[in-house]
Amino acid sequence: MNTRTACLLFALTLLPAAARCQLVDEFKPPSQTCCLVSAAQRLADQLQDWNQLSRYQADNERLKALQAVPGRVVFLGDSITDGWRLANSFPDKP
Please state, in angstroms and as integers, the Cα–Cα distance from residue 35 to each residue in 41, 50, 94, following that order: 10, 22, 41
Tens digit of pLDDT per residue, the chain (94 long)? 677 777 667 666 765 655 555 566 666 776 766 778 888 888 898 888 887 878 888 888 988 898 888 877 777 877 788 888 888 988 887 7
Sign for the pseudo-dihedral over CA of 27, 33, 37, 40: negative
